[in-house]
Structure 1
Amino acid sequence: MTKLRGNPWAILTVLSIGFFMTLLDLTIVNIAIPDMVEHLDASLDQILWITNAYTLALAVLLITAGRMGDLTGKKNLFVYGVALFTLASLACGLAQDPSQLITFRAIQGVGAAMLLPQTLSLIIDVFPHEKRGVALGIWGIVAGVSGAAGPAVGGVLVTKIDWRWIFFVNIPLGVLAVVGALLFIPNADRSVKHRFDIPGVILSSVALFLLSFALIEGQKYDWNGWIWTSIAASAVVFAVFLGYQRGQQDNEPLVPFSLFKDRNFTIMNFVGIAISFGIVGLFLPITVYLQSVLGYSAMKSGIVLLPLSVGTFVMAGPAGVLSEKLGGKYILMTGLVLYGGGLLWVMSVADVGESWTGVVAPLFVMGMGAGCTFTPMATEVMRNVPPKLTGAASGVNNALRQVGSVLAGAVVGAVLQGQLASSLKDQAAQRAGAVPADYRDGFVKSFDSAGKHLEVAGNTSGMKLPSSVPADVAHRIQDTGAAVFGHGFIDAMHPTLLVSVVVMFLGAASCLLVKKPSGASANPHGLPLSADELAAAEAADAAPARG
C-alpha cells in the first residue's frame, strides 16, 4: 500500500474545481426557471424534475461510487466523473425540450456522484493529519459558497447571454479539472477489494424514485389512486431494503446499521437533511418571487441573492475555528436558528410591490447561518465513528444529505403546487370584478390549471384573447391577471417557506441531544483517516487476536 505523493495544495485546487461544479449545479438552475418555462414550454412538474433528476441520481449513487473509487482508483473515477459531468452539461445546454433536459440532468447527476466522494477521500489521503483540518475547512468553504453563488452566477449568464450558458459554463471548468487531475493527482497502488451491494443499490433507488415521483407528480394527477399506490409501494420497497440490509450486516452492506448506534451520527444526518430543506426550500420560491412577482431580470435576481453567498463566506472560516473551541453542537444550533429566522424574516417582508432591499438583510443572516453548518457538521458526524468505518460513514452521510435534497425538492414543490392552485383560484374570484362582465367567466376559468403549470413568464391570466378585444379591455384583463398571479403566489409562498422553517428549527432542537465528548473518542480528531492510517488502525485492531 503506497501513500499518495504530490503537491497537496495543487491537488486540493483541482478537487475543489470539480466539487464546485457539482454543488453549483444544485442551485444555478433555479434562476433560469422562468426562461426554461418560456423557451421549453415546461410545466412546473417538469421544472421540478429538471432540478430533482440531478439530485436523485447523485443521491442514490454516492455510496456505490465511493466504493468504486477503492476498486478502480480514486483518481480514475474522479476523472471519469468530471468528464461525464462535462459532456452531460454540454448536452443539457443543447436540449430542445423538457424531456431531453431531464434525461441529461440525470446523467449529470451520475457524473457528479462519481467524482464527489473522491474529493473528500483524496483530501484525506494527500494531507498529513496536522494539516487535514485546514484542508477540510477550505473544502467546507467551497461547499457553502458554491451552492449559494449559483443564483448570482446563473443570473448574469441568463441575462447577458442565454439560459443555456448555466450548463455551458461547466465545460471550461470541467476541462480544467480533468487536465489538472491528470497533471497533479498521482496514481495510488492501493487496491482494496470491496463487495458491491447491488441489490441494496437497486432497492434504495427504486424506493426513492417511487416516493419522489409521487410527491412531484401528485398535484398534476390530483392525488389519485396511482399516486397513493406509488407512495405505498415506496414504503414497501424501503421495508424490503431494510430487511435485506439487516441480513447483510456481516457482509459489507450498503448501510452499516452500527453507525446509527452512535446518537451523534444519527442526529447529524438529520441535521444534514434539515439543511437541505432550508436551502432547497428557499431557492425555488424566492427565484419565482423576484422574477415573476417583482419583475426583476435573472441577473438582478442573482445579484439580490448575492448576500447569501457573502454571509456564507464570512462565517464559514470562523465557524470551523469556533466549533473546535466551543463545540460544533452550539455552532450548528446557531446556524440553523439563524437560517430559519432568516426564512421567517423573508416571509414577513415578501409582498407584491415591495423593493428588493427588504430581503437583503435576511438573506445575509441566512448566509451566516449556512456558513455555521458545513465544517462543524462534518466534524461532529465523524467524531465517534470507529476508524474502520469512516469511509462508510462519510458515504452514508453524503448520500443522506442528497436524499434530503431530493425529498426537500419534492415536498416543497408539492406544497407550492397545491397552495398555488388554490390561491390563484381564490384571487381570480376576488378580483374578477375588475374585468368586464363579458370576460369574467373565462378569466376565472383560465386559472383553473395555472397552479399546475406555473405560468411565470407572462404574469397574465393565460387567456387567449381574440384580436377583436379592445386594447383598453385587454390591458385591464392583463393587469388584473398579473395582480392575481402576484398576490396568489405570495399567498402560496408563505406556507411553502414555513415548511422549511419548521424543519430547520427541528434540526436546531435536535442538536440539544448531541452528546459532549467524554473519555477516549473512537476518532479523537473528528477527522476521517487516510488510507495508510486506516490500514494501521485495522492492523492494531487485529494485533490482540494474533497475539
Structure 2
Amino acid sequence: MNEHVENVAVKPALSFGFVVGATSLAFVVSQLDVSIVNIALPQISNSFKADVSELQWIVDAYTIAFAVLMLSAGGMADLLGAKRLFQLGMLIFGIASVGCGVAWNAPSLIGFRVLQGIGAAIMITSSLSILNQNFEHDKAQRGRAVAMWTAAGGVAIAAGPILGGLLMHVSNWRMIFFVNIPLCLLGLLLSIKLNESEKHPNKGFDIPGQFTWMLTITALIAAIIEWHHLGFNNPLIFGGIIFSVVMLLLFLYIEKKATSPILPLDLFSNSNFNVLVLLGMMLNFAYYGTVFVLSLYLQDVLHYSSLAAGMGFLPLTAGFVISNLISGKIMATHGTRLPIVIGLIIVTAGYAGLQIAHADTPYWHLFFPFITIPLGMGMAVPAMTTSILASVTKTRSGTASAVLNTTRQAAGATGVAVFGAMTNGGPLAIVKAISVSSLLSVAGLIIVGILIFKYLVPAKSAT
C-alpha cells in the first residue's frame, strides 16, 4: 500500500454516499451497542443472577472504556492516519462482540464489554476524522456528511432496543452481540477503498496523561455505581471520589506540560468549543441514564415482554430519522445555531413529559416524551458536531472529535450510574427514578440552554 499522504479531497471513484456510508458503519455499531444492551438487561440478570450494580457495570464498562481511550484514539488518528485506525477499531470491536456473545458469567461479559469500548473509541474518532478531511474543502457538503453520519448513529441508538427485542424473541440475549460481526466485516471491506488521510506533524504519545485520565473516569463512575450498596461513608466511596478529583487535577497539570498532550488545553480557549462540549455532555447524561431506567420501567413495572418493550422504543427511532434530516437542511440555510436552539427546546419539553410516567400509565400517554426527546436530540447533535469541527483546523479534527465524544461518553456513563442507582428497590423505586431523573434532565438542559444563548457564536463567524 502506498503510504504517502494524499490530497484529502474525495476522488472521482469515491462518491459522497460511499464515504459517508463506510464511515457511518463505525457510528452505527458503536451506538447500537450503547442501547441494544439495555433491553436485554432483565434477561441477562436472570441468566447470570446479576443485581442492579452488575447490570450498571455491563452497560458502563463499555462507555467507560470508550470515554477513557477516546482522547488517545483522537491523537492517534491525527498522528498515524485515520484510515488504519478505523480498520483496527473495526477489528477489535468485532472480536470483542464474539467474546460478549459467548460470555460465561457477568464478570466475563463486563470484561469483553471493556474491549468493545476500546474498539469503539478507536473507530469513532477515526471515522469522523475521515469525514472531516474528505469534505473539509466544502463546508456545505461537510455539514451534510456530518448530519448523515450523526443520523446513522442516532437511528442505531434508537433502534437498538427494537432490534434487541426482536433478536431475543427469536433467540436470546447473546444474539444482540453476534449481530455486530457482519457489520464489522462490511466496514473492514469498505474501508479498503477509502483514501489515506493527512497526519498531524506532532510526534509521540502522552502515556502519563492517558493513565491519569483513565483513573479519573474509572474511579468516579465506580464510586457512583457502588454508592447504593456501600454507602457514602464507606472509605471506598468517598475515597474514590476524592481520588478521582486528585487525578483530574494531576491530569490537567500533565496536559499543560506535555509536548504532545492527548487533551490540548488550548482547544478550550474557544467559547464555541466549550459550550458545545457542555451541551454534548448534558444530552448524553440525560439520554443514556433515561434509556437505562425506561428499559427497566417497561419490563419490570409495566410488565412488557422484551419484544413489546423493544417496540415501545420505536418512536425514538422515528424521531431521530426525521430530525437529523431536518437539521442538515436548516444548517445549510441558517447555520448551526438555530437547529441547536430548536433542538434544546424540544428535548427539554420531552424530558418534562416523562413526569406523567406512573406504575399504571398507558403506553400512548408516553408517546409525547418518547417522540420529542429524539426529535430534539436529532435536531441539535448534527449542528453541534459540525460546529465543533468548524472551530479547529482539519489536522486537529481527530482530537477535537475525540474531546467531544470522550466527554459525551463519560457523561453518559455517569448518567447510567446516577439514574441507575435510583432504581434499586423494585418497581416503586423505578417509577420514582423516572420522576427525579427527568427533573434533573430538564434543569440541566435549561442551564446549558442559557449558556448556549449567551456564548454560542454562529459557525459562519466562528471560524
TM-score, structure 1 length as denominator?
Answer: 0.78
In 1, Cα distance between equivalents of 2:270 and 2:202: 27
AA matched with 1:491: K
1:185 has 2:126 as partner: no
2:406 — aligned with what? 399
Q: CA deviation at 1:27?
A: 1.0
In 1, Cα distance between equivalents of 2:339 and 2:412: 22
Give the secondary-structure state (helix, strand or coil) at the position aligned to 2:7.
coil
Instruction: Tell whether the 8 Å contact from 2:327 to 2:339 is kept in structure 1 after alignment.
Output: yes
Residue 511 of structure 1 is aligned with which of 412, 432, 452? 452
1:211 has 2:220 as partner: yes
In 2, Cα distance between equivalents of 1:229 and 1:94: 35
Instruction: Tell whether the 8 Å contact from 1:384 to 1:521 is kept in structure 2 after alignment.
Output: no
User: CA, structure 1 residues 267+39, in 2 after alignment: closer, same or farther (shift >3 Å)?
Assistant: same
AA matched with 1:176: L
Give the secondary-structure state (helix, strand or coil) at the position aligned to 1:323.
helix
1:7-50 deviation digits (Å, cap 9, x = unpaired):
14323222212220011111111011110111111111111111
In 1, Cα distance between equivalents of 2:368 and 2:462: 41
1:198-224 deviation digits (Å, cap 9, x = unpaired):
111111111111111100111111221
**Within 5 A, what are the aligned runs for 1:92-241?**
92-127=100-135, 129-130=137-138, 131-182=141-192, 184-187=193-196, 192-223=201-232, 224-241=234-251
1:359 — aligned with what? 366
Instruction: Tell whether the 8 Å contact from 2:83 to 2:194 is kept in structure 1 after alignment.
Output: yes
Residue 304 of structure 2 is aligned with which of 296, 299, 306? 296
Q: Between Structure 1 and Structure 2, how many residues are aligned?
A: 452
**Within 5 A, what are the aligned runs for 1:380-391?**
380-386=387-393, 389-391=396-398
AA matched with 1:323: M
1:102-133 deviation digits (Å, cap 9, x = unpaired):
00000000111111111111122334623322
1:477 — aligned with what? none
In 2, Cα distance between equivalents of 1:65 and 1:386: 18
Instruction: Tell whether the 8 Å contact from 1:207 to 1:238 is kept in structure 2 after alignment.
Output: yes
Instruction: Tell whether the 8 Å contact from 1:385 to 1:522 is kept in structure 2 after alignment.
Output: no
The CA RMSD measured in Å over matched residues stands at 2.1
1:492 — aligned with what? 433
1:143-162 deviation digits (Å, cap 9, x = unpaired):
22111111111111122221
1:432-490 deviation digits (Å, cap 9, x = unpaired):
xxxxxxxxxxxxxxxxxxx3xxxxxxxxxxxxxxxxxxxxxxxxxxxxxxxxx433432
In 2, Cα distance between equivalents of 1:359 and 1:232: 40
In 2, Cα distance between equivalents of 1:508 and 1:191: 34
In 2, Cα distance between equivalents of 1:383 and 1:160: 45
Q: CA deviation at 1:197?
A: 0.9
Q: Is 287-296 or 123-132 further displaced after alignment?
A: 123-132
In 2, Cα distance between equivalents of 1:376 and 1:128: 16
User: 5+ unaligned residues in a row in structure 2: which ranges?
Assistant: none
Larger Rg: 1
User: CA, structure 1 residues 181+386, in 2 after alignment: closer, same or farther (shift >3 Å)?
Assistant: closer
Q: Is 120-129 or 60-69 further displaced after alignment?
A: 120-129
Instruction: Tell whether the 8 Å contact from 2:22 to 2:187 is kept in structure 1 after alignment.
Output: yes
Give the secondary-structure state (helix, strand or coil) at the position aligned to 2:304.
coil
TM-score, structure 2 length as denominator?
Answer: 0.92
In 1, Cα distance between equivalents of 2:230 and 2:54: 13
Q: CA deviation at 1:81?
A: 1.1
Give the secondary-structure state (helix, strand or coil) at the position aligned to 2:229.
coil
Instruction: Tell whether the 8 Å contact from 2:78 to 2:396 is kept in structure 1 after alignment.
Output: no
1:438 — aligned with what? none
AA matched with 1:279: Y
Residue 320 of structure 1 is aligned with which of 315, 328, 342? 328
In 2, Cα distance between equivalents of 1:215 and 1:252: 32
* Bigger relative CO (Cα 8 Å, ≥ 6 apart): 2
Instruction: Tell whether the 8 Å contact from 1:56 to 1:402 is kept in structure 2 after alignment.
Output: yes
Q: CA deviation at 1:327?
A: 4.1
Q: CA deviation at 1:389?
A: 4.3
Instruction: Tell whether the 8 Å contact from 1:53 to 1:102 is kept in structure 2 after alignment.
Output: yes
User: CA, structure 1 residues 96+180, in 2 after alignment: closer, same or farther (shift >3 Å)?
Assistant: same
Q: Is 193-202 or 4-13 further displaced after alignment?
A: 4-13
AA matched with 1:142: A
Instruction: Tell whether the 8 Å contact from 2:272 to 2:457 is kept in structure 1 after alignment.
Output: no
AA matched with 1:490: V
